[in-house]
Structure 1
Amino acid sequence: MATSQPIALHFQSDPIRRVAGETIAGSVDLNIARAQEEHIEKLRIEFRGAITTQVTEQNPGRAGATHRAVVPLIHSDQVLWTQRSAVSAADSHHNISLAFQFKLPANLPPSFHCHDSANGHDESSPLCLQPRRTSCWSKKSLQQGWAGGWGGITRDRQLRQGIWGEYSRAAVTLSLPDLPSFPIATPIPCRLHIVTETKTMDRTERPEDKRGKPLFPVPPTESAKLHLKLQRTTHVWASYKLEHVKDTFDIQPVRNSSEDSQQRNVKAEWVPKKDSKDRGFWRRSVDLNTTFDFPFAPTTSTTNLAWNYKIQLIIPFPGLGNDLKIELPIHLGASASAPLPPPPISASGTSSLASADVLPAGTPPTLDRLSSSLSGTTLLG
């Protein structure tokens, strides 16, 4: 490819999404004539990656102290060309393509960036995903329609519509595929079973008030009325300082169609008390199915940076403090595996780079507030 600049950098494939263990390949186009005009004697490409953490210690009445830590992960370089390199007469006044390859370590942490503006914490790690065999298998199973077991957690509490009066009751069961880790950027089915029971009343009382409105508490009949959040806790070590940063992200359903929402037994059912046939309560139950995904960096722990997640589901009910909440720790895993390595590079100045890396299938995950310290940089010597 002709270029008016002395140097141009190209990657074989998408340089944004990388997978630990794969090979990054590309080429540098060098305009020989321009390089000679600018007295370029050597062309070297460097590959660097590190985990960088920073914690600012706030001291009232005194200047804050900043603690930093850097853990190198990748440090590699290749000399692609020197003035002594053999160049044919035909290429001496044109461009030559200089191929390069870098192998990503298999144990690289995933991409991550976090900043706490209030306390001056800043953390980042390189741009890649760390594949696990179980996560890749889980992704395929979920994409084909989950047919395995389910794991659930149940929470219930007493509710009161006003300040005084008897208590009602609400319970919810959150069920997810029974997996040790959930692949990121992959639709995950979720089942919700919600049950509400009115306060104790006489059998002659109806489940609706005089205006035909269902008695408190009424279960939600649409998943859109629920509040699903993902909470992330980041643990940062810089020098001898340890700090924690918490972030909360709203999770939206992947799709919201009639197939995703099923209702059952919405009609009130009378349940008599054991000691009295004339006293009891009205019960309603609803089943909701929805699908969501987590476009965030996989759960990771390193020497100076670690983060974990938990799901928070909130079911709102009228009245002060009546919301029903479920919190469930969740482990996120990488959803891509390393592609096959590209063919061996040819001698310097002769590679056409006809083959490209095979990228993992699917849409690249949107890693939150992504900032990478991993880069390919062309240096002149």
Structure 2
Amino acid sequence: MSLCTINDSGVELDFNPELRFPGSLVDGRVSINLATAARKGFTVVTAELIAEVKTRVDEDKLSQPLTFNEQHTLVSSKSVLWTADARTPPESTIITAPFSFLLPDRQLPPSFLYEGSDASASIQYYVKIVANKKAWYKSGLKIYRSFAYLPFGEAVQYPLIHAPRRIVKDHLMLRKGVMFGGMGKVEGEFSLPDVTSLPLFQDIPFSLRIRCFSKPLPESQSSNPSLFTFPLPPSSSDQIDMSLLSLSNLAAQKHWKRVQIKQGSIQGFSKQTKSKCSDHYVVEPLRGNLSWVRIGDSRQGRWCQEVMFNSTLHLKCPPTFDIGLLQTSYHIQIRIPFPGVGNEFSMTVPLARISSGMSKSTHDIAHGMLDLPPSYWEVAESDNQSTVSSEPSESR
């Protein structure tokens, strides 16, 4: 989809903010109303391709707040589109000036944005159109348009449903009363493909098994399953909070912050209607029968029931990266509340490196779009020139 920035300044930008990769073409067109440009005193119009990294860290030193900023340019290219003394047909009122840039073939970090109260970080890719006036101190015009960028990454060589599985386990002992009564038990087991990297925009199968055990009961109760009332396994996926979290380390002038960012809820696991991983739906579990489990050689046992949830991840987050002053990794966090004070089962599942899964030969195949915060598409620069920024708008 090609989007046109409309304004009354005499300069309009037509640009497609599609997802781009190493070596991709970044092109568009700028329309210039010659009469309006002359009236406003524009003497030159340029196009720029920019990619930059920005970080901010706030610290409180001896009750004195300090802010540290750091900025690095990854890509900067510029092209002159029009000058006031350029020859144009006398009958022309509007001219169209095309521009094009090539992104480097080398791997650059993916588009990224985090904004927190005491830290922020961004990796932004954008084009900038500048209309300058002859006098440097007079305000001109700037137009921004962002686009998302992904580096190439390891591609999946076979269907992930056939890959061997990696299993993560955890458990919780809990009682319904605050201080008294026997302890029940909850066991969680999460399995997903045991691969070196997980791809974006593809279905990644996973299973979540929850086993719930009653408090210890005498063997005489082994034929009375009605006694099993706590803890009962969840009956549907919307009783489970499963989230994709990113852990980021960021630095500005050698001052570090470690932040955790909730990317969104996993497909149907929570009451949210939309997530960054996929649209909402409810996953129905496979429910096992109640069974009696004897405790060692004692004359006691526990009633047990398990449920199994089978579903898929569909990742749209920026892939894992490390550029020194900014690093990210990902994990899944699972929380299941049970009746009683503090009775919440929780487990963390570290994820393998997340990759774009794209290569030079496959990146033109239909794929999704990175899920980035709305503010990614807004460019902010500290100068006194007027700006036009429309969504999607900024960064490379």
TM-score range with shorter-chain normalisation?
Answer: 0.7 to 0.9
Return the letter of the residue paired with 1:108.
L
Distance in 1 between residues matched to 2:34 and 2:159, nearest whole Å = 52
Name the residue aligned to 2:92.
93
Query: Contact 1:30/1:97 (CA < 8 Å) preserved in 2?
Result: yes
Matched, 1:313 2:312: no
Matched, 1:272 2:294: yes
Query: How far is 1:115 from its partner?
Result: 2.0
Change (3 A) 1:337 1:86: farther
Query: How far is 1:44 from its partner?
Result: 1.8
Query: How far is 1:228 from its partner?
Result: 0.7
Name the residue aligned to 1:350.
none
3-state SS in 1 of match to 2:187: strand
Distance in 2 between residues matched to 1:33 and 1:24, nearest whole Å = 29
Partner residue of 1:304 out of 312, 325, 338: 325
Name the residue aligned to 1:157.
172
Query: Contact 2:11/2:33 (CA < 8 Å) preserved in 1?
Result: yes
Query: Contact 2:200/2:317 (CA < 8 Å) preserved in 1?
Result: yes
Distance in 2 between residues matched to 1:159 and 1:319, nearest whole Å = 9
Change (3 A) 1:201 1:22: same
Distance in 1 between residues matched to 2:123 and 2:52, nearest whole Å = 6
3-state SS in 2 of match to 1:204: helix
Matched, 1:361 2:381: no
Query: Contact 1:131/1:338 (CA < 8 Å) preserved in 2?
Result: no
Name the residue aligned to 2:393.
none
Name the residue aligned to 2:21.
19
Partner residue of 2:120 out of 119, 122, 137: 122
Name the residue aligned to 1:263.
286
Name the residue aligned to 2:144.
none
Query: How far is 1:38 from its partner?
Result: 5.1
Name the residue aligned to 2:187.
171
Return the letter of the residue paired with 1:77.
K
Change (3 A) 1:272 1:213: closer
Query: Contact 1:69/1:239 (CA < 8 Å) preserved in 2?
Result: yes
Structure 1 length normalisation: TM-score? 0.77
Name the residue aligned to 1:371.
376
Matched, 1:334 2:356: yes
Distance in 1 between residues matched to 2:265 and 2:201, nearest whole Å = 12
Name the residue aligned to 1:70.
71
3-state SS in 2 of match to 1:371: helix
Query: Contact 2:284/2:309 (CA < 8 Å) preserved in 1?
Result: yes
Distance in 1 between residues matched to 2:281 and 2:316, nearest whole Å = 21
- 5 Å matches for 1:219-230? 219-230=233-244
Matched, 1:286 2:288: no
3-state SS in 1 of match to 2:61: coil
Query: Contact 1:230/1:251 (CA < 8 Å) preserved in 2?
Result: yes
Structure 2 length normalisation: TM-score? 0.74
Return the letter of the residue paired with 1:30.
I
Distance in 2 between residues matched to 1:257 and 1:16, nearest whole Å = 28
Name the residue aligned to 1:109.
109
Return the letter of the residue paired with 2:123.
S
- 5 Å matches for 1:28-43? 28-35=30-37, 40-43=42-45
Return the letter of the residue paired with 1:192.
L
Query: Contact 2:154/2:358 (CA < 8 Å) preserved in 1?
Result: no
Name the residue aligned to 1:203.
219
Distance in 1 between residues matched to 2:54 and 2:223, nearest whole Å = 60
Distance in 2 between residues matched to 1:339 and 1:197, nearest whole Å = 51
Query: Contact 2:58/2:68 (CA < 8 Å) preserved in 1?
Result: yes
Identity of aligned residues (%): 25
Q: Aligned residues, how many?
A: 344
Query: Contact 1:270/1:282 (CA < 8 Å) preserved in 2?
Result: yes
Distance in 1 between residues matched to 2:335 and 2:149, nearest whole Å = 31
What does the per-residue CA deviation read over 1:73-102, in whole Å, with 9 as the maximum and x for residues that have no partner? 111101223356554x4x752433222111
Name the residue aligned to 1:47.
49
Return the letter of the residue paired with 1:166.
G
What does the per-residue CA deviation read over 1:235-287, in whole Å, with 9 as the maximum and x for residues that have no partner? 221112112222334414146768x434142x2112334425x5322221211
RMSD: 3.5
Change (3 A) 1:82 1:235: same
Matched, 1:181 2:172: no
3-state SS in 1 of match to 2:154: helix
Change (3 A) 1:78 1:316: same
Greater percentage in strand: 2
Query: How far is 1:60 from its partner?
Result: 4.0
Name the residue aligned to 2:82.
81
Query: Contact 1:20/1:104 (CA < 8 Å) preserved in 2?
Result: yes
